[in-house]
Amino acid sequence: MKILIASNNSHKINEIKQIVAEKISTPIEFISPKSLNLTIDPEETGKTFAENAEIKAIAFYKAAKIPVIADDSGLEVGALNGLPGVNSARFAEAHNDAANRKKLLELLENSENRSARFYTVITFYDGEKVLFFDGECKGEIIREEKGNAGFGYDPIFVPLGGTKTFAELSEKEKNKISHRYNAIANFCDNFLKNNL
Query: Judged by CB under 6 A, does residue 178 bind ligand IMP?
Result: yes
Tell me the three-class secondary structure of 30-47, residue by residue: EECCHHHCCCCCCCCCCC
Please count the other Cβ atoms lying within 10 Å of the Cβ belonging to residue 26.
16
Task: Look up 72 and say whether it is catalytic.
Answer: yes
Query: Judged by CB under 6 A, does residue 88 bind ligand IMP?
Result: yes
Q: Work out how close the CB of 54 gets to ligand IMP at its nearest, in angstroms, rounded to a whole number.
A: 13
Only segment of 25-33, 105-113, 144-152, 182-190 that touches ligand IMP (CB under 6 A): 144-152
Q: Which of 4, 5, 69, 72 binds ligand IMP (CB under 6 A)?
A: 72
Task: For ligand IMP, give the closer residue by CB, 135 or 152.
Answer: 152
Only segment of 17-25, 73-81, 109-117, 124-132 that touches ligand IMP (CB under 6 A): 73-81
Query: From the candidates 72, 97, 134, 154, which is the catalytic residue?
Result: 72
CA pair distance 14, 5, nearest whole angstrom: 10
Task: For ligand IMP, give the closer residue by CB, 124 or 153.
Answer: 153
Based on its alpha-carbon atoms, the radius of gyration of the chain, rounded to whole angstroms, reads 17
**Residues 155 and 174 sit within 8 Å (Cβ to Cβ):** no
Handedness of CA 8, 12, 18, 20 (dihedral sign): negative
Q: Work out how close the CB of 159 gets to ligand IMP at its nearest, in angstroms, rounded to a whole number.
A: 11
Q: Work out how close the CB of 32 gets to ligand IMP at its nearest, in angstroms, rounded to a whole number.
A: 16
Q: Work out how close the CB of 25 gets to ligand IMP at its nearest, in angstroms, rounded to a whole number.
A: 27
Say which residues have a Cβ less than 8 Å from residue 191's Cβ, sequence separation at least 6.
Answer: 124, 131, 133
* Bridge partners, residue 4, by sequence: 31, 68
Q: Which residues are part of the catalytic machinery? A: 72
